[in-house]
Amino acid sequence: MRITDLNREGGIGSNSLLVEAGEFNFVVDAGLHPKMVGMAAVPEFEHIGDRQIDFVIVTHCHLDHIGSLPVLLQKHPKARVFMSLPSQMLVERMLHNSCNVMKRQKEEKRIPEYPLFTHEDIEQIADRFEPLKYKTPLSLTKNGETIEITLFQAGHVAGAGGFQIDHAGKSVFFTGDILFDDQRVIGGARFPHARKFDAMVIETTRGETERPEGKSRDSEITRLLETIRETIRGGGSVLIPVFALGRMQELLSLINAARKDGRLPRCPVFGAGLGLDIADYFDQITKRTQLINYTRKVTKELRLKRPPRKLTPGKEPPEPGIFILSSGMLVERTPSYQLASTLLAHTRNAICFVGYCDPDTPGGKLLETRPGRTFLFEVLDYQCPVLAKVERFEMSGHADREEILEFALAAKPETIVLTHGDPGARDWFSKALEADDHPVRVIDPAPLQAVEI
């Protein structure tokens, strides 16, 4: 089997792998780079050349995995597209939103090639999406050769899947993005355990993150709830910036439960945007598949309010409360960015980060700014001292590096391929894997260089 990383930038970026297995060619994910724009954000699909792609496997619906799917599928009209049923229920909504964002960016940032696809393009590819059941192998035959695909629940986010490929007597496992811990809305990864694989392709997101002694998801949730409670009691507001898919519904569910059991006082809760729409899809997924646990009841019980439309930097919103808004990294011109500009200059407020923040985003920069120092909201042309409490809580949607290491080594593979991680994160995995007693060949593939596994 040959694997080529089509993500031209390396790192996390626009995830996409080309896999050649005998008669079969397939692609794993077709993402869009969150920090790049225009065609530079798209994987190097030209590299596929005139190979015929038989199928595409979508691991989950975050944009760094699906954002360029319509571009790929237009070039490969015969490719079948496999994903879990929850992913199939979410993928169109996510792509339509991405199309809207690109249309806006075309004007704001003057990117002539945007949108990379239209709403009609999405509709045209939608009937090619085929759901795969978890733990149920699918066999495909071509020119007398057989390949088998088996999807396994990966935690991380609703619909996420890792998968096993069996071909020509070899068995290879691709983790996709993983979380082993159970969350409120979705159970953790249910990967095959202690089964021998010839090779593994693993994500390495948290390779540079050491979990501090004594910190666990539960203890971090407790700390978050304490911060919210104290802030609300002091008359302030709390902003929790979240990703629309996954984090938002997890936080709504968590806050609702904490209010019911008395860990949080009653106060207004505000939410808006794509995340609320996704919450409605989660309601349908819960009813149809029982693979997740989120119903409309949560939003109803919370009496979720829309944040005020007009917000002025430096001026606190008229009604204090808990604001659960995207984007998770305070990206410019998003609801969380706007709201942060109203809260930051007042000591009684708190901004609580619960997920990964890229250091180049406003969220990443705010986390690096010391209390009392000045922070600039560039596109609002507003700056103020950091007086609100700014904290981060370790509630990542990705597994700890040690857990992934343990899972990978338990399968006793000959080869491990590293994906989905910054260079430092990949280095940590390389060193840790090579230090193990079990001899394993570790490959950190350079973009567009085929590796044999």
Q: Provide the binding-site residues for Zn ion, judged by CB under 5 A.
A: 62, 64, 177
Q: How far is the CB of 176 from Zn ion (least distance, A)?
A: 8
* Residue placing its CB nearer to Zn ion in the complex, 88 or 338: 88
Pick 166 or 177: Cβ nearer Zn ion: 177
- Give the nearest distance from C-beta 157 to Zn ion in angstroms: 6
Return the bridge partners of 25, or none: 20
Minimum distance from residue 392 beta carbon to Zn ion (Å)? 19
Shortest Å distance, C-beta 62 to Zn ion: 4
> Please, which residue, 62 or 348, has the CB nearer to Zn ion?
62
CB of 426 to Zn ion, least distance (A): 15
Which one, 32 or 79, has the nearer CB to Zn ion? Answer: 32
Nearer residue to Zn ion within complex by CB, 64 or 444: 64
CB of 32 to Zn ion, least distance (A): 11
- Beta carbon nearer to Zn ion, 179 or 440: 179
Whichever of 67 and 413 has its CB closer to Zn ion, that residue is: 67
C-alpha distance from residue 309 to each of 206, 248, 306, 313 (Å): 36, 20, 8, 13
Q: What's the first-to-final CA gap in the chain, in angstroms?
A: 6
Give, in order, the Cα–Cα distances in Å from 128 to each of 20, 85, 117, 404, 431.
21, 13, 16, 32, 41
φ/ψ of residue 88, rounded to 5? -60, -35
Q: Of 277, 279, 311, 358, whose CA–CA distance to 9 is shortest?
A: 358
For Zn ion, the closer of residues 62 and 389 by Cβ is 62
Q: How far from the centroid of its chain's Cα atoms is residue 302's Cα?
A: 25
Q: Which is nearer to Zn ion, 62 or 259 (by Cβ)?
A: 62
- Give 34 or 271: the residue with its C-beta nearer to Zn ion: 34
| Of 278, 237, 326, 331, nearest in space to 87 by CA | 278
Contact 415/199 with Cβ under 8 angstroms?
A: yes
**Minimum CB–partner distance for residue 189 and Zn ion (Å):** 13
Maximal C-alpha separation, the chain: 70
Q: Smallest distance from the beta carbon of 139 to Zn ion, in angstroms?
A: 28
Q: How far is the CB of 265 from Zn ion (least distance, A)?
A: 33
- Residue nearest to Zn ion according to CB distances in the complex: 62
Closest approach, Cβ 291 to Zn ion, in A, equals: 17
> Is the Cβ of residue 69 or residue 304 nearer to Zn ion in the bound state?
69
CB of 359 to Zn ion, least distance (A): 17
Q: Measured from the CB of residue 156, what is the shortest distance to Zn ion in angstroms? A: 6
- Virtual torsion, Cα 98, 102, 103, 105, nearest 10 deg: 140
Between 360 and 436, CB nearer to Zn ion:
360
**Packing angle of the helix pair 401-410, 423-434 (nearest 10 deg):** 40
